[in-house]
Amino acid sequence: MKRNFALVVVLVLFVGLAVMTIAQAAPPKDPLGCVAIKKGQPIHIAYWMVVAGPDASLGIDTRRGIELAMADKGGKLLGYPIKLSGQDTACNAEGGQAAATKIASDPTVVAAVGSNCSSEARPGAPILWKAGISTVSPSNTAPYLTDPKRGKEYDGYLRTAHNDKIQGAVAAQFAIKKMGVKTAATIHDGSVYAEQLQAVFAEEFKKLGGTITAQEAVAPTDTDMRPVLTKIATGKPQFIYYPIFIAAAGHITRQAKEVAGLEKTYLMSADGSFSPDFYKAAGETAIGMFHSSPDFSAFAGGYKDFLAKHQKKYGEKPIAPFHAHGYDAAMMIFNAIEKTAVKDGDILYICRQKLRDALYATKGMKGLTGTITCNQYGDCADPRIAVYQQTADNIKKLVNPEVPFWKPY
Amino acid sequence: MLQRIRERLNPTDIVMWSIGGILLIMICWGSVATLVKGVYSTHHWIDFIIFGLAQGSVYALIAMGYTMVYGVLRMINFAHSEVFMSGPYTAYYFAAYFYRSGLLESHPVISMVLVFIISMATSTLIAYLLELIAYRPLRGAPRLVPLITAIGASFFLQYVFKGLYGSGFQAYPVVKALEGHLMVGPIRILKFQILVIVAAAILMVALYQFTQRTRLGKALRSVSEDKEASALMGIDVDRMISMTFMIGGAAAGAAGVLYAIMFKQVHFFMGFIPGIKAFTAAVLGGIGNIPGAMLGGIFLGLVESVGPSLFLDGLGIVAPYQLKDAIAFSLLVLVLIFRPTGILGERLAVKKA
């Protein structure tokens, strides 16, 4: 018993000593704590994106954006190598939650880039922020995520992607002003992204004098869309807007042509399925349909260089619309780290609250997608949304069309 | 008299019957309201029914595998959905090759038959190996053990195919001969739907005749009645069990190609949802019963297609097709409340249950 007591005393002394030495070496104070990086250790950035499954093109595309941003920095920040690790998010809430939990449990992660689908960010971003990790999303577009009412748990969340309040409105204006339609139906898949985007579309469409004949919904795993399309056909819409993801959008595009009464209806989807993988899924039935997406021709001058580097490194053109947003998101984080990191001897300190504040303070940054300025709710994009039409040529070659069909500006 | 009724009623039954009653009333009320509203014409209903039949025949073919294995081994082969996936996913590469070489265009029948054969062969082989490796060593084990193995085998197969063919999806080439629609009298029917429904019907009838009329089928049925007695009568029980798996696999492989013709996309996870639905269909029809599985599959397909419009539209529910799975599974509950053994399920002997 006595010996045990002595042991405990010695242990306590040791621990006390150790704590004191650490305390001496940790000068920067931050309410959320700092990450200390020793010489030779990397600055760890995590991504959480869809890199497997039917929507993998979305995540691989944005990850390539980060990788090219890292390459442009020479793989180093302030003399420390950058390390990128990642988690797959599966484009659903469960996947986002699992990925965020894994990243949050790693104390070396300084900041994160992600997620891709808005459904992932809704549960994921609060988990990361609880661990003090700020995350910049390159492709979440649902309005809720940067809404003034979103709540404090989203304080560490920003995005370089556009807000769908803009994308939905552009789609509605396109339908009414350019195509001259009076009636439209929408389909969503229950995801935060699709549900909110079609709601914005419907609202704007009605405001411009159109009639919404149906607002239907399917499950993202559904394959037989013919019944729901038949139901929609009873309302005789001239236009169907289904801003959903690749697999289900592919089924709808193929099957819409087979349903009586929809042969001549205009079809339109959004950036979530603007990808060569979608052309594979929909095949020739996608010819003539429309997609809203960021306007690549309005991107900054550096975008041409970026495309050249992309071609050189990956041997193909970008496979989804958000590579440049991924690049900008990574650059935002790199800039904020360079601004806030404190060097103490050989140790680099990156403090979480300061990093978050620096990210939110991003102003007038010249990014690929335009001039990036964050508002107090984390909306940083300089959104220019255009509408693209699919042609037989680009479907056959499995590449995204390059020239917008219509622009609102 | 009253005394007897009181004795027979127990609280669980009352709760179950009232749930069933409420569901039934909702269904009737919704249907009447929809029909009174008259948004849908007869043509629409016929379209819904044809879509449902096509989807249902695929469910029915997959359900055969579940029900036959259950009939013989009293176990749910959860890896059956992967048997279903393996066939069309493998056959895709041949279909794509036929498309590139132009064979699909010039000889659509020959190439489609080849695709069917390849898919069925692959699924049969996978089902055979599955039984040999995963289930046979556990023949005498308690019933839960092969169930867990089945789940493990399911994951294993999924990830093997993910590793083999990648995690993305592949799109089946379009068969020109199956494009477009035909008019059968006033009814408009898509060409591939005819193929799907007819092919599934032929396969199911052939299978049923096989089990009823041939010696092998008789042996199969006797094994499912009583394994020991069959063994005493000189039937090789292990061989019969292998056979059951292989027949189920072949049906699943054929169903897979039909599915691919209807929906075009194949990927390593494609078996999961149809597998669950087919299992539901098998239970709905009375598991262990082959005509029951067919009926259950068709019924489920029809409910999924017609149900949301018929039952929910009249109740003023927004976006009813989001709830099609909820409807399908509520109907499963409903059927099981009133007929616990499924639509065609017979009462199991104490020994079998």
Closest-CA residue to A260 (of A277, A282, A236):
A236
pLDDT (tens digit per residue) in B234-275: 889 999 999 999 999 999 999 999 999 989 889 888 899 999
B209, part of any domain: yes
Query: Is there a contact between A224 and B171 if contact means CB atoms under 8 Å apart?
Result: no
> pLDDT at position B30, please?
87
In the three-class reduction of DSSP (H, G, I as helix; E, B as strand; rest coil), residue B38 is classed as coil
Question: Smallest CA–CA separation between A219 and chain B, in Å?
Answer: 6
Question: Cα dist. B138→A273, B124, B143, B147, B244 in Å?
Answer: 46, 21, 9, 10, 17
Confidence of residue B349 (pLDDT cuts 50, 70, 90): very low
A288-316: pLDDT as tens digits: 999 998 888 888 878 989 999 999 999 99
Q: Tell me which chain B residue has its CA closest to the CA of residue A257.
A: B180
pLDDT band for position B352 (cuts 50, 70, 90): very low
Residue B292 placed within a domain? yes
Q: How far apart are CA B288 and CA B286, in angstroms?
A: 6
Residue B294 lies in a domain: yes
| Both structure tokens of A149 | 């009412």
Tell me how far apart the alpha carbons of residues B258 and B55 are, in angstroms, rounded to a whole number.
9
- HEC letters along B5-28: HHHHCCHHHHHHHHHHHHHHHHHH
Structure tokens at A84: 């990128």
ipTM of the complex: 0.85
Among A378-387, A388-397, B307-316, which stretch is predicted with the lowest mean pLDDT? B307-316
Q: What pLDDT was estimated at residue A17?
A: 52
Cα angle at B98 between B95 and B99, to 5 degrees?
Answer: 85
User: Is residue B345 one of the residues assigned to a domain?
Assistant: no
CA neighbor of A324 nearest in space, from A69, A56, A51: A69
Q: For residues A114 and A120, give the distance between their C-alpha atoms in angstroms, rounded to a whole number.
A: 9
Total residue length of chain A: 409
- Cα–Cα distance for residue pair A210/A202, rounded to 1 Å: 9
B351 falls within a domain: no
What is the phi/psi pair of residue A397, to 5°? Answer: -85, -5
Q: What is the pLDDT of residues B173-230, one digit of tens each?
A: 888 888 888 887 778 888 888 999 999 999 999 988 998 899 999 998 888 888 889 8
- Tell if the CB–CB gap between B273 and A221 is shorter than 8 Å: yes
For chain B, the average pLDDT equals 87
The tally of domains found in chain B comes to 1
Residue B118 maps to which CATH number? Answer: 1.10.3470
Calpha distance B173→B95 (Å, rounded): 7
Task: Give the torsion through C-alpha atoms of B144, B150, B152, B158, to 10 deg.
Answer: -160
Contact at 8 Å (CB) between A334 and A71? Answer: no
Task: Tell me, rounded to whole angstroms, the distance of Cα B232 from its chain centroid.
Answer: 34
8-state DSSP, B41:
-
In angstroms, how far apart are the furthest CA atoms of chain B? 78
Angle at B328 between CA B324 and CA B334, to 5 degrees: 140
Q: Across the interface, which of A230, A254, A283 has its CB nearest the CB of B44?
A: A230
pLDDT band at B55; cut points 50, 70, 90? very high
Q: Do B174 and A251 touch (CB under 8 A)?
A: no
Structural domains in chain A, sorted by start: 35-161+322-378 (3.40.50.2300), 165-297+386-397 (3.40.50.2300)
CB atoms B167 and A53 under 8 Å: yes
Q: Is the pLDDT of residue A36 over 50?
A: yes
- Per the prediction, chain A carries an average pLDDT of 89
The partner residue sitting opposite B319, judged by closest CB among A216, A230, A284, is A216
**Quick check: A219 contacting B, CB < 8 Å?**
yes
In a domain, B24, yes or no: no
Considering only residues A197 and A53, tell me which one the structure prediction assigns the higher pLDDT: A197
Which residues constitute the domain of residue B334? 40-338
Here the contacts of B122-125 (C-beta below 8 Å, separation 24 or greater) are B122/B86, B122/B87, B122/B90, B122/B91, B122/B253, B123/B83, B123/B84, B123/B86, B123/B87, B123/B249, B123/B250, B123/B252, B123/B253, B123/B256, B124/B246, B124/B249, B124/B250, B124/B253, B125/B249
Average pLDDT over residues A159-178: 92
User: Higher-confidence residue: B316 or A347?
Assistant: A347
